[in-house]
Amino acid sequence: MQKNRIQCTEAIELLETEHILSFEEWTRRKKAHEQRTDTLLSEYLENRSRHQKQPVLDFLFEYYHFRPSKLRNWSPGVGPYLAWDSNLNPNTNTATYTTDEDGGLPSYLPALSELYLAQDMAYLDPKLFPEKRLSSLAWVIKLLHNTQDKRPQFGCFGLHEWAMVYRSHEPRHNQVPLRFSHKKIAEIVDSHHLLCTHFDAFRFFTPQAQPLNRHSLSREVFAESEQPGCIHTNMDVYKWAYKFYPWVSSELILDAFELAYQARYIDMRASPYDLSFMGLNPIKIETEAGKKEYRLAQESLSIKAKSIRARLIGELELLWDTLSPG
């Protein structure tokens, strides 16, 4: 918090009024976001404190490196200006004005080091965006556009999780039982085509399974291989959103998190693991009925992801435009 200090600056002029959030509006949004996050995570965090495993949410916080505390810490994203409460404005009423423990931000503002405090409002200062991350921002925008514009492919039936244990006696989730013997899993994989398009799933295939995949995947062709029907590609919308926190709004990041949760839920139900003891009934992709169920879930998720990805593209392009004057 040491970066946050009230700085003397000239009044901000010519702001578009639709970008100014009243004190009542942004504090309402902030509180609603915190309550929504608490509803989603309070039980999980309590169980985690007791070292109880939850394979869906554990994955989202272990594979994706974004802490629950950051997910809860509200950011308006780049663009909006947060109006002061006139009763708490330090320029007009110092008696009711308090700061955080470091003497920096007013205690009612979001705890963000990138927040700039002007005379009557606060906003994320684009000048604090690291210049070294500009190339990454451009790459992600291009990746999201390329993915969004492609025709979705369905029909993989979630066999990536099966390929990760194919002809191996060391399953990745060895604390969870399998639904079938290793021999039967191999027979099921051998009777299907592996159609994985997502390198970060493919790289966990067993050495015996990788040559069976129809697509030759590598880190070098990652962007070209992504497509909007893929469960893991749609899960990764969350990753591309939180990587640009706090410049991406917290509401969007949490929407992407919920999307990732739904994707992982489908992912685990369609896997060869038996998670019925956790209330996750299997999607039996080894049957025709299971294949139909998986495809319908995959298509529904793809539709939701398309909307959230479009919003993310919009916010990242706004950030890019803000960083590229003229």
Q: How far apart are CA 89 and CA 93, in angstroms?
A: 6
pLDDT tens column, 50-89? 888 787 888 899 999 999 999 999 999 999 999 987 665 5
Q: Read off the pTM.
A: 0.88
Question: In the numeric block, which tokens belong to residue 130?
Answer: 């690291």
How many alpha carbons lie under 13 Å from residue 9 in its C-beta half-sphere? Answer: 14
User: Which residues are CB-contacts of 174 (< 8 A; sequence separation ≥ 6)?
Assistant: none
Q: Nearest-CA neighbor of 31 among 104, 96, 108, 85?
A: 108
pLDDT per residue rounded down to tens, the chain (326 residues): 334 333 333 334 434 545 899 999 999 999 999 999 999 999 899 888 888 878 788 889 999 999 999 999 999 999 999 998 766 554 443 323 334 444 456 778 899 999 998 878 899 999 899 999 999 999 999 999 999 999 999 999 999 999 999 998 776 666 789 999 999 999 999 999 999 999 999 999 999 999 999 999 999 999 999 999 999 999 999 999 999 999 999 999 999 999 999 999 999 999 999 999 888 999 999 999 999 999 999 999 999 999 999 999 999 999 999 997 65
295 with 231: CB under 8 angstroms? no
